[in-house]
Amino acid sequence: MVNNGDIVMGAVRAADHDRYLSALYAPADKRGALLALYAFNAEIAGVRDR
C-alpha cells in the first residue's frame, strides 16, 4: 500500500528534482511539511503552463 507521503514525494521528484534533493537534507520531522509546500508550488506553477 502506498501512503500519501510517497505520492507527494514522487510528485515533487517528478516536478522539481532540485527541490526534491534539497528536501532530503531537511530534518525527518520537517520533511513532510516541506515536501507538501514544494508539491503545492509545483501544482500552482503548472496551472500557469496549462
Domain count, the chain: 1
- What are 1-10's pLDDT values in tens digits? 678 888 999 9
Q: Which domain holds residue 29?
A: 4-49
Q: Hey, how many other C-beta atoms are within 10 angstroms of the C-beta on 8?
A: 18
Contacts for 34-39 with beta carbons within 8 Å, 24 or more apart?
35/5, 35/8, 35/9, 36/8, 38/12, 39/8, 39/11, 39/12, 39/15
Q: Are 7 and 32 in contact (CB under 8 A)?
A: no
> pTM for the complete prediction?
0.85
Task: Give me the pLDDT at residue 36, please.
Answer: 94
pLDDT tens digit sequence for 1-50 = 678 888 999 999 999 999 999 999 999 999 999 999 999 999 998 898 88
